[in-house]
Chain A
Amino acid sequence: QLVESGGGLVKPGGSLRLSCVASGFTFIGHGMNWVRQAPGKGLEWVSSIKSGSTSMYYADSVKGRFTISRDDAKTSLYLQMSSLRAEDTAVYYCARDKYGAHWFDPWGQGTLVTVSS
């Protein structure tokens, strides 16, 4: 129901745009989120966007470098990442809000971003 794409190898300081295509539910009515997981590490919430793009939220670690957006007509979620650092290396998951609250379900399969020279 959620399929991410756009990951890959990028040099420090570079940019990358992740996409997440949703299906099987009414995309327009749900808040959406990005969560990442560095190799061998725990989960880190990255960013969220409310339905209707009314508000966006970011973790301090990515604020000013990442931008979350959505296209309801394309049932798609995006994460524009710039000024990438080695510590941004992770699997990036998109996830939907559930029950009108910030509980994450379902999740996509994830897309790997590697920042390395």
Chain B
Amino acid sequence: DIQMTQSPSTLSASVGDKVTITCRASQSLSTWLAWYQQKPGKAPKLLIYKASSLESGVPSRFSGSGSGAEFTLTISSLQPDDSATYYCQQYNSYTSTFGQGTKVEIK
């Protein structure tokens, strides 16, 4: 099974800061990776798919990059509404694995 490791587990940043979350896979994924945002008590929301494609309606301050086994989610200018937990997701042969999540807090 492919394992996904996200870092950091939590981060605290100020409004306007640039924030980067990393996701590493135990084997190459090409670009079969997505990012989700989840707020407390809510279902996850798709932000980025195929490593770097921005989902429709998602603010342009969110971006994804990477290929192979290392990926990043970047928030270019952190906003109060971005306080949430972020998960990466890989899919391989129609099975899937999520990273353990990164909780983003606003200072």
Binding site for B on A (CB under 8 A): 31, 33, 35, 42-45, 48, 50, 55, 57, 59-60, 93, 98-99, 101-110
Contact = CB atoms under 8 A, between A and B. Distances in A.
30 contacts: A33-B96, A42-B87, A42-B98, A42-B99, A43-B36, A43-B44, A43-B101, A44-B98, A45-B89, A45-B95, A45-B96, A48-B95, A48-B96, A50-B94, A55-B94, A60-B1, A99-B50, A101-B49, A102-B32, A102-B96, A103-B34, A103-B46, A103-B91, A105-B46, A105-B55, A106-B43, A107-B43, A107-B44, A107-B45, A110-B43
Contact of A108 (B1, B43, B97, B98): B43
A23 B44 CA distance: 19
B49 A99 contact: yes
Given A42-B100, A43-B44, A107-B43, A101 B95 contact: no
Contacts of A102: 32, 91, 94, 96
A contact patch SS: strand
A48 B43 contact: no
B94 A57 contact: yes
B contact patch SS: strand
Nearest to B94: A57
Interface of B: 1, 32, 34, 36, 38, 43-46, 49-50, 55, 87, 89, 91, 94-101
Contact of A101 (B43, B50, B99, B100): B50
A112 B1 CA distance: 27
Contacts of A101: 32, 49-50, 91
A107 B46 CA distance: 9
Contact of B43 (A55, A93, A99): A93
Nearest to A50: B94
Contacts of A104: 34, 36, 44, 46, 89
Contacts of A57: 94-95
Given A45-B95, A103-B91, 11 more contacts: A33-B96, A43-B44, A44-B98, A45-B96, A45-B97, A57-B95, A60-B1, A93-B43, A98-B49, A102-B94, A107-B44
